[in-house]
Structure 1
Amino acid sequence: MLVLALAGCTRPLPGHPLAAKGWHALTGSHPSHPAPKVTRGPAEGSGGTPVVAGGRTPRPAHVVVVVFENKKASSVVGSSHAPYLTGLAHRGAYLTQSYGVAHPSQPNYLALFSGSTQGVTGDRCPQRFHTGNLGAQLRTSGDSYASYAEGLPSTGYPGCRTGHYDRAIAPWTDFASVPAGTQRPLTAFPHDYAKLPTVSFVLPNMCHNMHYCSVATGDRWARRTLDPYARWAQTHHSVLLVTFDEDDDTTVNRVPTILVGQPVRPGTYPEHVDHYTILRTLEAMYGLPPLGTAADRQPLTNVFQQPPITRRAAGG
């Protein structure tokens, strides 16, 4: 299972200061701008472990992608306000050079889900598109897909905002090819994780995703909500992927991205990745053709365990 978390931009709620203290021991130096895309090659992982070049993506039984909002990497990983997510980065694969592709929030979610920002430059709602997307790809290929949004009042709810739910950060609602029945409240997330769809997205509400509320609030939510699945994934060939949509509105736009699960090789990984890279990786896992700009990215392979090489005996 893979969980991915993104963070977005909307109006803040009063009385919820965003507190986070930078810490760079895990994140390395801060580039002045996002690095260019690089091809995979020999590199060093955590503890001097060689990174696998030319490897393969696994096919996890389940991937859960969780998206948080509007925090730069150093405000989360290594911060005293985020002990759970920092610990998750230590026990999983932490992508130290992971970037959003735009500001504000909505274009990042669209890029992650469809391989394009769809020409969107703001957070206007509603939107409607008739282009390809990951949810439709999975369903067409015979795999299963669903989204689970905290605060969504009912399955397939079409409204733009209610309580702490904001449709602008739920990109699947914008695509005609994604059935309303796959758009579910977080309360429908199965307690038996074996019943999860092949790929699912989880959206915390606009407080728990750290947009309106503090890093500490989001970190406590992550421990309470995600840790049971994260531990299950480590013994059930599944992946949790946590990411953010964008940073706190800087030109750098570097965000935390963490993968945990049985197929994952723990370590720190410094290659440049973005939301298109994540989409390309999900597509590669399930044999799907890349959408839009994802076709210009290479899927992540070095963060995953690789099968042993079988050598044929001489004369065999």
Structure 2
Amino acid sequence: MQAVSTLLLLLPTALAATAPTFKAPSAGPLVASPNYVGTSNSTLPKPTIVPGKHFDRFIQIWIENTDYASAASTAAFSDLAKQGIALNSYYAVTHPSQPNYLAAAGGDFWGLSDDNLYNIPSNISTIVDLLEEKNISWVSYQESMPTDGYAGFNFTSNNYLNSSAPPYTYYVRKHNPTIIYDSVAEVPSRAALHRNFNDFAADVNASALPQWVFITPNLVNDAHDTTIDFAGQWVDYFLLPLLNDTRFNDNKTLILLTFDETETYTVNNQIYSLLLGGAVPENLRGTTDNTYYTHYSSLSTVENNWSLGSLGRGDTNKTLNNVYSVVASTTGYVNNNITGAAIPFTNATGTIPGPLNAELYVPFTAPDVNAVGAGGGKVFVAPSLNVNFTAAAAPAPVNLTALGQTVPAAGPINGTSSGSGSAPAPTASGKSGAMRVEVAAAGILAALVGTAALFL
């Protein structure tokens, strides 16, 4: 243990002494490479285009853990802003990373305040349910993921940045939001739509890019294990050439480049975000939009554009779900005008009760089925959902840790088969939960050691 402590003390010095150097993982974003790990599993079929009111394709690209000012002052991002709309009042919804990704896919982060392994129960809906109701194609592209539909916690592969260093953990499940939901992961046809970057190259080259696209770079290219300048070099390598390729970006494509959260937890969670693509009118390129947005806005904007139903969660919260103004101006949607001191603080972590919060545990509850989202459609209700088990019907939050119990990884909507809302049966002195935390802690240590090995 003393050796581990010594290593942890030395790591910051070692990392500071050797700046990471960006190395392109491939000859180009549309060129297959063994650095992307898995080979392409052929291509997706060319999608049948479902026309939207403002855009026909929506692409999200997420970068990691950076304060607004740091990203805004980085050349790659400030230069990109000249080609699009800078969203100057965009906020993450909590800390750390994983709950923000969950929120963008499911409209809630379920009280989560860690990056451990979870499986959201199969009767909890996501954006996938809303898209498929309208036959809108979708896909998640994950850099350095080994195989289509991979549901593992992480994946370690050859270290392409330093061939003399040990293998490196480039891929993590926590940045792949839809696979964390069992309603997606347990349906083979849906799971298969989680594809790696060799698949991405094949799909774009075949003009087969779906209409809703979520893209996550690996842990070095997204700035998680490196720096914002490193991520900026990746943006120059990956995104800049694709902006000029009509198979990726045509005149009906809207691209959101955003961050999961701020690096600093003591400030409000303002993140740098840009809207790019052919769906941004020429007269708005190089401009700023000061409307208040959150990660729920990516849901409500998509719902508004395609007149979808909603999830009845954060995507219908009138404070948090503003639609991007460039889209709202086309559809006639009216946003709120929250500014300044009225903007809520969303930098807290672990303070929101939920089914993934061991200290403020409440079971999964039904969404607000009477909510009206920006798309105007009905709230999606899974067939096995107990719609009577609402937030009002749920018991007061309890501290499972104090009771020697652990958060269940998955289960019926309320953690029981009866719908009573009681807490799950305790595990053997909470050991399974403790072991999960210990494994996660070991993974953090391994990541730190691996980061050092990357650059030394």
| Pairwise CA distance, 1:235 | 4.2
C-alpha separation between the residues in 2 aligned to 1:132 and 1:214?
A: 35
Answer 1 or 2: higher relative contact order, Cα 8 Å, separation at least 6. 1
1:173 pairs with one of 171, 179, 184 = 179
**1:264-298 CA distance string (max 9 Å, x none):** 13210112111011221122122212321111223
C-alpha separation between the residues in 2 aligned to 1:304 and 1:151?
A: 36
| Pairwise CA distance, 1:231 | 2.7
Matched residue SS, 1:135: helix
Q: Is the 8 A contact 2:54 2:327 kept in 1?
A: no
Q: What letter corresponds to residue 143 of structure 2 in structure 1?
A: E
Q: Is the 8 A contact 2:87 2:288 kept in 1?
A: yes
2:421 corresponds to: none
1:226 corresponds to: 239
2:215 corresponds to: 202
Tell me, yes or no, if structure 1 residue 129 matches structure 2 residue 121: yes
Q: What letter corresponds to residue 238 of structure 1 in structure 2?
A: T
Matched residue SS, 2:100: helix
Tell me, yes or no, if structure 1 residue 238 matches structure 2 residue 233: no
Q: Is the 8 A contact 2:119 2:182 kept in 1?
A: no
Q: What letter corresponds to residue 120 of structure 1 in structure 2?
A: L
Q: What letter corresponds to residue 126 of structure 2 in structure 1?
A: N
| Pairwise CA distance, 1:87 | 1.2
Tell me, yes or no, if structure 1 residue 151 matches structure 2 residue 180: no
Q: Is the 8 A contact 1:16 1:212 kept in 2?
A: no
Q: Is the 8 A contact 2:251 2:278 kept in 1?
A: yes
Higher alpha-carbon deviation: 129-138 or 90-99: 129-138
| Pairwise CA distance, 1:262 | 1.9
Tell me, yes or no, if structure 1 residue 188 matches structure 2 residue 199: yes
| Pairwise CA distance, 1:72 | 1.2
% same residue: 27
Matched residue SS, 2:256: strand
Q: What letter corresponds to residue 289 of structure 1 in structure 2?
A: G
| Pairwise CA distance, 1:232 | 3.4
Q: Is the 8 A contact 1:109 1:170 kept in 2?
A: yes
C-alpha separation between the residues in 1 aligned to 2:173 and 2:231?
A: 19
Q: Is the 8 A contact 2:130 2:310 kept in 1?
A: no
Matched residue SS, 1:277: helix
Tell me, yes or no, if structure 1 residue 252 matches structure 2 residue 268: yes
Change (3 A) 1:193 1:271: farther
Change (3 A) 1:305 1:92: farther
Q: What letter corresponds to residue 288 of structure 1 in structure 2?
A: L
Q: What letter corresponds to residue 273 of structure 1 in structure 2?
A: Y
2:358 corresponds to: none
Count of residue pairs the alignment pairs up: 256
| Pairwise CA distance, 1:249 | 3.0
2:64 corresponds to: 69
Calculate the TM-score normalised by the size of structure 2.
Answer: 0.53
| Pairwise CA distance, 1:136 | 2.5
Matched residue SS, 1:228: helix
Q: What letter corresponds to residue 107 of structure 1 in structure 2?
A: P
Map 1:91-130 onto structure 2 (within 5 A).
91-130=83-122
| Pairwise CA distance, 1:200 | 0.7
Higher helix content, 1 or 2: 2
